Structure 1
Amino acid sequence: MVPLRWTDQDAYRHVNHARIVTLIEEARVALAFTGAGQEGLTGFASGLLVAGLHVEYKRQLPWRAEPMRVEITVRDLRAASFTLDYVLRDGSGADDAVAVTAWTKMALYDLEEQRVRRLTGGERDYLKRYLGETS
């Protein structure tokens, strides 16, 4: 769940399209930095870069005070990169319809060495828990 802020809405009281990218970023941080960090995996927080981003808007999201549900799965788990898939659901109606789908290709990066680095075994095991059905 990602909280919505008053400033996330546009003039039509819908969540602004650019703010969607911020919402998926917050969901990614919760997964890769907070969740992994709680398990002692700090490598993501010290060097994880967005190498690609794609967003598809399926329907408008009316702004509301309740948090937005963001589902994340992992695919294309490779030696030094992986892709995160996101589904944002409306949640304001009975159907809870998909409003946005997105993906980010993530690359692990050693900031000190200024180069891409490989996933550790612990990082790989953590991400495997979130593998999607088609991974």
Structure 2
Amino acid sequence: MDKLKDYPVVISVPVQWGDQDSFRHVNNVMYIRWFESARIAYAERIGVWSLYDEEKIGLILASITCNYRRPVNYPDIVRVGSRISRIGRSSVTMEHKVLNGDGDVVADGDSVVVVYDYNHGRPYPLRQSMRAAISELEGKSF
């Protein structure tokens, strides 16, 4: 059973030797970086970058949590899934899950991402076009 089947964006990331700390397991910071990489892949899929290029409306991270379930060691290839669980007026809550090469859950967590107007330095309402892109990608309405 694929534990990431309900995650519309899944990326694969090879574990690098330098990702480990002195205890020879992947350092906790890397898990957050994996979440970030999947979050950015999700943003690309819903067209965030064109909105930023045109109007300087983008995303900014408000909070993030990570539950470390088991260590990861080199060599391995992790798979990271991201999905949106909630849409607010100007923010979305994303869920993330990381699996090791054996398919075990090694971490999970969530993040709150705010749609942000970089011209005026404040949150910006989520556009209907972005809501529609999220609903299409997720295969459900919010």
Task: State how far apart, in whole Å, the 1-side matches of 2:139 and 2:113 are.
Answer: 16
Does the CA contact (< 8 Å) of 2:15 and 2:73 recur in 1? no
Aligned length, in residue pairs: 127
Task: State how far apart, in whole Å, the 1-side matches of 2:60 and 2:134 are.
Answer: 16
Aligned residue in 2 for 1:17: 28
Q: Note the aligned Cα RMSD (angstroms).
A: 2.4
Aligned residue in 2 for 1:117: 124
Alignment of 1:38-57 (within 5 A): 42-43=50-51, 46-57=57-68
Give 3-state SS (helix, strand or coil) of 1:62's partner.
coil
Where does structure 2 lack aligned partners over 5 or more consecutive residues?
1-11
Does the CA contact (< 8 Å) of 1:41 and 1:122 recur in 2? no
Residue 29 of structure 1 and its aligned partner are, at CA, apart by 1.0
Does the CA contact (< 8 Å) of 1:81 and 1:107 recur in 2? yes
Residue 84 of structure 1 and its aligned partner are, at CA, apart by 0.7
| CA shift digits 1:57-83 (9 cap, x unpaired) | 0111112253x2001111111121011
Alignment of 1:1-135 (within 5 A): 1-32=12-43, 34-37=44-47, 42-43=50-51, 46-64=57-75, 66=77, 68-91=78-101, 93=102, 96-131=103-138
Percent sequence identity over aligned pairs: 26
Residue 3 of structure 1 and its aligned partner are, at CA, apart by 3.5
Between Structure 1 and Structure 2, which shows a larger proportion of strand residues? 2
**Higher mean C-alpha displacement, 77-86 vs 124-133:** 124-133
Where does structure 1 lack aligned partners over 5 or more consecutive residues?
none
Residue 49 of structure 1 and its aligned partner are, at CA, apart by 0.9
Alignment TM-score, normalising by the size of structure 1: 0.81
Does the CA contact (< 8 Å) of 1:36 and 1:42 recur in 2? no
Does the CA contact (< 8 Å) of 2:76 and 2:100 recur in 1? no
> Aligned AA for 2:134?
L
> Aligned AA for 2:40?
V
| CA shift digits 1:32-72 (9 cap, x unpaired) | 1x3233xx862367421111111100111112253x20011
